[in-house]
Amino acid sequence: MNLFSYIFPQTIVQTSSRYNRDIRVVQENGKKKLLVNGIQQSGPQVKKFWDFAFSQLSMPRKVSSILVLGVGGGTVFKKLHQVYPDAVITGVDIDKHIVDIAVKYFQINDELIIADANTYILNKKKYDLIIVDLYIGRTIPDFESSKRFVQNLKCVGKAVVFNFLHDGIFQKRAEQLEIALRKEFTIVEVADLPYNRFFLVIK
């Protein structure tokens, strides 16, 4: 633990990749967080987001296999282990730098695969729960709100949780995603924060 982090934030590592121009692990008040292109993608604030989502949504009770699309710093992995201690979790991220950081600095020991989430789900392996947490800084891949992606998720996941944005330019895309989800899934629940919108969908 870096005691200076209680005085002002300490940058532990700074790097970049073909997908992200600025990747930083920062320690503040003794706790590490991941910043990607200036946006926090793991850490105490992100933990609060996921705590809120799990408290507001009717999460499935019996889950033995989980797929997480978008590894980041692994905050949601820790939440999932807490809620589903016996589940096997697989994470997929397109950026090897992010995966390496999740392992080295955030102690994520689950199976992590470097792949494009949009194509990985085409392998048709089934999961009880899928978490879609795909961010590149403050942008979301265009395919995430597409009808085809939603249909592909339906083929492989019994339940799916999306962490999406719904402010500013993302408002319309969030609405498009909700329309696509309601056409494909029997149950659709929504939980809103000021900037994030969580969807839970169940076949």
Give pLDDT tens digits for 28-57.
Answer: 888 899 999 988 888 888 999 999 999 999
Domains detected in the chain: 3-40 (no CATH), 43-202 (3.40.50.150)
Q: What is the pTM of this model?
A: 0.92
Q: Could you give the angle at the alpha carbon of 53 between the alpha carbons of 59 and 74, nearest 5°?
A: 95
- Altogether, the residues listed in the chain come to a count of 203
Contacts of 150 (CB under 8 A, 6+ apart): 177, 180, 181, 184
The pLDDT of residue 6: 53
Distance CA 93, CA 43 (A): 18
179 vs 83: CA distance, rounded Å = 29
Low-confidence ranges of the chain (pLDDT < 70): 1-8
